[in-house]
Homo-oligomer: A and B are copies of this chain.
Amino acid sequence: MAASLGLVSASIAAEPIQVIKPVQNVNLAQVELGKKLFFDPRLSISGFISCNSCHNLSMGGSDNLKTSIGHKWSQGPINAPTVLNSSLNLAQFWDGRAKDLKEQAGGPIANPGEMASNHTLAVDVLQSIPEYVREFQLVFGSDKVDIDKVTQAIAEFEKTLVTPNSRFDLWLLGKKDALTQEELAGYNLFKSSGCTSCHNGSAVGGNSFQKMGVVKPYKTSNKAEGLFAVTGKDADRFKFKVPTLRNVELTYPYFHDGEAETLTEAVDVMGRLQLGKKFSEKENAQIVAFLKTLTGEQPSFLMPILPPSTDKTPRSKPFD
């Protein structure tokens, strides 16, 4: 028994993908407050768009749109990345411009094409609602709401959005019948073809920036330039954060421009452009079968009930 466990440990250690660990070490009071804020559309100027609008936790933490819909139906510039397992990313946004979840959370609130509010107004809204003020007091020991506390709470909630116990993770943990022969063949092909040079670690991605179009250039009408927008270095042009492949079955469409509608298409493009390899139909299907084993347990929680605005709360302005 001890010997067999030792073997399992050795085989896990040898794999380029590691299991997703369940949530540990969160401030549960901040999580509960952050959950409300994540679902509260009053953080947007319209009163209609919440974090959950584009990172919908009923739909893999994404909106399943090519690019997102923002204030007044603005067409977003880029595909909304999933919020699931985003705590495992080396940085946030496709271009990594936010160093962590807390820094990220402030962005969309004040982005004119997304929630179109500003931090002062968002804080004023919350400060006008006694139930929120009491909760901030309880959680942070101060009834003074500020954007730092708001984004801290949202980030803490987002840390809970990990998806352990996918079939692939059960397999990694030693349940050898958790995968079918086809899925296993897909995984072996995924490794032997070089996919794991970028898609590795517990998030199967999210831990490096890589150029989109390594072997052949990627053609797109999307204007995003990736890491270049942050560093200004020519070498960083079209380098994007490698997306996590966890729950990739749920987070269609694919790529930073959302141009790949299906996993089949995404695998084909990745093979040709990043690896110089044309997967056969059978190989492609095997890899897709493997990718679908990365769907983990989705976050399960009670739909939050938001405290009502008061007569003093600045009113939402959807049509101004």
Q: Which residue among A72, A299, A311 has the maximum number of chain B CB atoms within 10 Å of its CB?
A: A311
A82 close to B (CB within 8 Å) = no
Please tell me if the beta carbons of A65 and B304 are within 8 angstroms of each other in the complex.
no
Classify the secondary structure of A's interface with B.
loop
A203 close to B (CB within 8 Å) = no
Please tell me if the beta carbons of B63 and A47 are within 8 angstroms of each other in the complex.
yes
A59 close to B (CB within 8 Å) = yes
Q: Which residue among A48, A63, A262, A264 has the maximum number of chain B CB atoms within 10 Å of its CB?
A: A48
Bound Cα distance A17, B306 (Å): 27
A196 close to B (CB within 8 Å) = no
Please tell me if the beta carbons of B75 and A48 are within 8 angstroms of each other in the complex.
no
Bound Cα distance A59, B42 (Å): 11
**Cβ < 8 Å to B, chain A residues 270-314:** 298-306, 308-309, 311
The closest CB in chain B to the CB of A73 belongs to B73
In the complex, chain B residues whose CB is within 8 Å of the CB of A47: 63-65
Please tell me if the beta carbons of A65 and B318 are within 8 angstroms of each other in the complex.
yes
Please tell me if the beta carbons of B72 and A48 are within 8 angstroms of each other in the complex.
no
Q: Which of B262, B301, B309 is within 8 Å of A311, CB to CB? A: B262
The closest CB in chain B to the CB of A74 belongs to B73
**Cβ < 8 Å to B, chain A residues 157-197:** none
Q: Distance (Å) between the CB of A320 and the closest chain B CB?
A: 11
The closest CB in chain B to the CB of A60 belongs to B308
Bound Cα distance A40, B59 (Å): 9
Q: Distance (Å) between the CB of A164 and the closest chain B CB?
A: 15
A249 close to B (CB within 8 Å) = yes
A57 close to B (CB within 8 Å) = yes
Which 5 pairs show the lowest CB-CB distances between chains A and B? A73-B73, A262-B311, A298-B305, A58-B306, A250-B308
Beyond A261-B311, A264-B311, A303-B303, 19 extra complex contacts between A and B, CB < 8 Å: A40-B58, A41-B56, A46-B69, A47-B65, A48-B69, A58-B304, A58-B305, A59-B306, A64-B316, A65-B316, A65-B318, A75-B319, A250-B308, A252-B308, A252-B309, A298-B305, A300-B305, A301-B303, A302-B302
